Amino acid sequence: MEGILYLLQQLKAMVTPFGISDLIDILIMAFIIYKVIMFIRRTSSGAVAKGILLLLVALLVSGVLQLNTVNFLMGKIVEYGALALVVLFQPEIRRFLEQMGRTNLGKVFSNAEERNELDGAITQTVEAYASLSKSKTGALMVFERKNMLEDAIKTGTALDCTVNAELLKNIFWNKAPLHDGAVIVRAGRIVGAGCMLPMSGNVNLSRELGMRHRAGIGASEHTDAVVAIVSEETGSISVAVGGMLKRHLAPETLERLLRNELLPEQEENESPAKFRLMSLFRAGKGEKGHGEENH
Cα 175–Cα 178–Cα 179 angle in degrees, nearest 5:
60
**pLDDT confidence tier of residue 260, bands split at 50, 70 and 90:** very high
203-207 contacts, C-beta under 8 A, 24 or more apart: 204/288, 204/289, 205/288, 205/289, 205/291, 206/289, 206/290, 206/291
The distance of Cα 98 from the centroid of its chain, to the nearest Å, equals 20
Residue 96 has pLDDT above 70, yes or no: no
pLDDT: which is higher, 32 or 127? 127
Mean per-residue pLDDT over the chain, rounded: 79
> What is the pLDDT averaged over residues 10-30?
75
pLDDT at position 13, please? 65
Alpha-carbon distance values, 128 to 142, 171, 271 (Å)? 14, 11, 27
130 or 105, greater pLDDT? 130
Cβ partners under 8 Å of residue 184, min gap 6: 141, 142, 144, 149, 152, 153, 156, 190, 191, 192, 193, 195
**In which band, very low, low, confident or very high, does the pLDDT at 273 lie, cut at 50, 70 and 90?**
very low
Can you tell me the mean pLDDT for 3-22?
71
* Overall average pLDDT of the 99-120 stretch: 63
Judged against a pLDDT cut of 60, whether residue 220 lies above it is answered with yes
> Measured between alpha carbons, how far is 275 from 293 in angstroms, rounded to an integer?
29
Indicate the SS3 state at residue 228: strand
Whether residue 220 contacts residue 141, with contact meaning beta carbons closer than 8 Å, is answered with no
Top CATH class of 112-287 equals alpha beta
* Residue pLDDT, tens place only, 170-202: 999 989 999 989 999 998 999 999 999 988 878
Q: What is the pLDDT of residue 265?
A: 60
Report pLDDT for 190: 94
What are the structural domain ranges in the chain?
17-108, 112-287
| For the chain, percent of residues with pLDDT exceeding 70 | 73
The per-residue pLDDT for range 116-166, each reduced to its tens digit, is 888 999 999 999 999 999 999 999 999 999 888 888 999 999 998 999 999
